[in-house]
Structure 1
Amino acid sequence: MVTTLRRTVAPSPSLAHPPRRRRTAWPALAVAAYAAGEAAEPLLPAPHLLAPILAGLALALAGFTAGKLPVRVNRLSQALLGVLMGSYLDPRTLDQASAAVLPLTAVTAATAVLSLAAAAVLARVGRVDRATATLGMVAGGSAAVVSCAEELDADPRLVAFMQYLRVALVAATAPVLVQALPASGPTAPGRAVLRPAARYLVDGPHQGTGLLMLAVVALAGAAAGCRVRLPSPALLGPMLLAAAVTSTGTATGFAPAGLLRTALFTAIGLDIGLRFTRPAVARVRHLLPITLACTLTVSAACAALAWLLSATAHIPLADAYLATTPGGINAVLATAVATHANVPLISSVQSLRLFAMVLLTPLLVRWAVRLRSRS
């Protein structure tokens, strides 16, 4: 009987590849995922996240898996991503947004409430756990939200699906909608929309100094986050330290850029994609209608917030829509440049909301889970 079982039961994909072979497979997979992201540049929003997710999904469904991203690499990618998120809060961002701080605070708070309400509906109707539903519906910081999903006891596959469904919808519809709305005059493109040369690793002119500063902020921020017991310390610690250093003008030019940022997004996307299995894909397909309905509802509510922001802060409606729309910041800023919108204003509002939502997300998840357990 034992002999028969050994002959007929095939080893699982994760056991079919020894640990050493799985470790050597990661570099080859990363190179292939990077190439897929480059090829998808004209076709997808956030191509170096979405293309590796799709590539990993295809490999996982074919029965191949390289296992999870190594823990140390996962922590390093979260720290680098935290530094990138914190770098958006520069002095120019604060100066541009200072004139409308009250409306912006109200819009950010309303967006958080909308995300929680949509998550509650998704959890109840779609039978999704509250942590996954909350992370999936958070409007802002898609890459950061996906990267810390597992640490917050959520399903990173479903979180990635819900986050990038929203990003894709906004990226596809924003250019069409903005053309039909009153807009401001043309402005010069802001810093955040320029794509650094591939040979660059940080966004400053002095690469050696910038890389050293990046390492210091990432390591010190992660250590401080663990010491003060921040939720998702590897992400939030470096993000807060980078924001403090950048906003005070202490140092600049150390945020991941060019090839390093591409490698960072590729690793995060590939790690998520390889987690998909056939049951997980069936689950995603089952959740598509309710997820799409919740996403469209949140997007429509954010459009209503844009109208309120336009009326109270005297901002053209097209600019207010791009500033408040819950899509990926890169896709939104690219649309702003293409449509001659007020790029500095839009960049400021999107950056501040991104920072606030990433900072609040772990707290919102824990609050929502605690509230659900009490009820």
Structure 2
Amino acid sequence: MTLPERPLRHCPRLVGLALLLAFALAGIWNAGALQSRDTAHGADIAQRLDRGDRVDMDMYRALEARVAKGENYYAAVAEEHRRFGFPTSPAVAVRTPVLAWTSAVWGAQGWRVIAVVLWAANILAWWSVFAGRASVAERGATATLAALFGAIAFIPDVAYSHEALAGLMLSLALAVKDRSWPAALALAASAVALRELALPFLLLWLALAGSGRRRREALAVGAAIALLLAGFALHAQAVEAMRLPGDAVSPGWAGLIGPSLPLYGIHVTTLLQTLPLWIAGPLGVLPLLGWLALGGRTGTFALGWFAGFMLFAALFARQENFYWMALFVPAYGIGLAFVPRAIADVFRFRRPATASA
């Protein structure tokens, strides 16, 4: 099922007004929730440091240095997880070797260059994707927002962030999907190989392509999912083979923190964190309204991906998993470009005139 273009033009005005009010209230609520979540995050960091935990990025940096020297990935990752006190069970607690293996080829600096190239490609792609479908102002806004929300590409640690690199790929895949789905599929599959948490992106794509009767596209996406699942199974076997009885076990993912957690993750992985909370709070929520207002294949996919994954994070993520939301960068924020369209479409709605008797 795909939303029509500009769906808010087709809904009753009272429904549209209720929707605008709901988003306004959610934005106000988020401003306060961000403060509460930041306090909880600070307490979580202090607690983890007190018990001797160390920073994730330090482990990935050490791991990639060992693999670059020729060490076996799984032997090295097992030792580093034990040294840092990180769990090796279940297998999803251990990252796939893709980032470490590629870093051994072109180094951390190579990934930093790739991140900036992906950032620039996102700007160009989001400027061009709406040609003929959006005003020049909206297209300029999408490109500007892609640049601003993609600023994570310039942090030095991006070379060790599976989520940030995958997010830049997924955002570009979303932009080019309807023009060149093979290129988008290559990007999305690469993102999932880097971070298996991005798999729902492909599952949603498969569902929408199947329901839209785009047979070749659906078969290709299904084949990519099957290959990735086979790779994840091999990864799980390799992790199981190197596990020792005394290794740490993950406490699981049943945080049930609610929507404040994914919204906080969006806040701290983007430039929203530089803004006053009374501004950042609404800006963290409103992109969903913009994607809804866009409609069509792109808007439907974006809304399904963002809202669906936010629900997943709200249910399962723990406090320290806020960084999962880097998978949204920068495409999530581009929805802000269509918020004025949402407001205009709600207030421009006119009930069709009925025929006279």
The TM-score with structure 2 as length reference comes to: 0.30
The TM-score with structure 1 as length reference comes to: 0.29
